[in-house]
Amino acid sequence: MTEFPTHSSVVERVVPSPNHDERTAPPDIILLHYTGMESADAALQRLCDPEARVSSHYMVFESGSIVQLVPEERRAWHAGISSWEGATDINARSIGIEIANPGHDFGYPEFGKRQIAATITLCRGIIARRQIRRDRVLAHSDVAPSRKRDPGEKFPWRLFAESGVGLWVEPVAITDWLSLIPGDSGDTVKELQASLAEYGYGVEVSGQYDEITKDVVTAFQRHFRPAQVDGLADTSTRETLRKLLAARAALLAKPQNP
């Protein structure tokens, strides 16, 4: 693909990737990733490699420099097998942003201040252009909890929400109260699964605390209760989820900007 006009004034340059196709739905999700490779340059090369068959719309380097790889009108290939609120082709309805960070397999360093500031600015522009709701700024791990961990528990979700990017509630304090754990079953597990599914996570409301439920709880904790990520649904996790659902209900009740 030849170079194309960028959508954002904060983009430093366009590096066209051949890995994209036609959208089948307008984008209504921003999906955030980390690159998960030892170097940012290697990640950029892979995102442009036709044999790798992966891409994203944007990539944010550690320095805060941003490149655009795929036009927003096109379907980039970044989400893989994924789901949210029952939709399974997340690539079709999302704008993907890769944030340079080697990830959990390579030491998982903190995200830098310039990098985060640049990503927030980029996201704010996308939200304004595409009218994306705050609760639909998601992690890769949210839509693919059994496969992915990115951008992970070190990602500053609170700061993003304070900047108008994403939805956040103050996590309920962690106590030593009993947790729901894998192998548990019953109505309390069913209520947990129903609440997670109501927010958008792909979990069956079976009443059985199976491995998929543990994966979803882990993904929820990485995003919304990052102080302790263990896949066990303690009181803090369940009450934070309750607060989050209430915050989204309040958001949806407000008149939307035209």
Give tens-digit pLDDT for 221-243: 999 999 999 999 999 999 999 99
**Helical (H) or strand (E) element with 210:** none
Q: How many angstroms separate the CA atoms of 99 and 32, rounded?
A: 7
Per the listing, tokens 């366009």 go with 14
- Tell me if 28 sits within 8 A of 93, measured CB to CB: yes
Give tens-digit pLDDT for 81-135: 999 999 999 999 999 999 999 999 999 999 999 999 999 999 999 999 999 999 9
Q: CB count, 10 Å around CB of 25? A: 14
Q: How many angstroms separate the CA atoms of 151 and 141, rounded?
A: 7
Instruction: Please list, in sequence order, all residues whose beta carbon lies within 8 angstroms of the beta carbon of residue 246, skipping any fewer than 6 positions away.
Output: none
Phi, psi of 247 (to 5 degrees): -65, -40
Q: Which letter does DSSP use for residue 110 in this model?
A: P
Helices then strands, each counted (H, E), the chain: 7, 8
Q: How many angstroms separate the CA atoms of 222 and 201, rounded?
A: 13
Summarize the confidence of residues 247-251 as an average pLDDT.
97
Per the listing, tokens 């896949």 go with 231
CATH number for region 187-253 = 1.10.101.10
β-pairing verdict for 137-139 and 20-22: unpaired
Options 98, 170, 191, 239, the catalytic residue: 98
Domain map (residue ranges) of the chain: 13-162, 187-253
Q: How many angstroms separate the CA atoms of 91 and 225, rounded?
A: 26
Q: How many angstroms separate the CA atoms of 102 and 175, rounded?
A: 32
Residue 12, pLDDT above cutoff 70: yes
- Tell me if 196 sits within 8 A of 217, measured CB to CB: yes
Quick one: tokens of 161? 């929400």
- Least confident among 4-8, 9-13, 43-47, 111-115: 4-8
| Predicted local distance difference test score (pLDDT) of residue 1 | 57
For the question of residue 198 being annotated catalytic, the response is: no
Per the listing, tokens 């709701």 go with 133
Return the SS3 of 96: strand
CATH number for region 13-162 = 3.40.80.10
| Predicted local distance difference test score (pLDDT) of residue 178 | 76
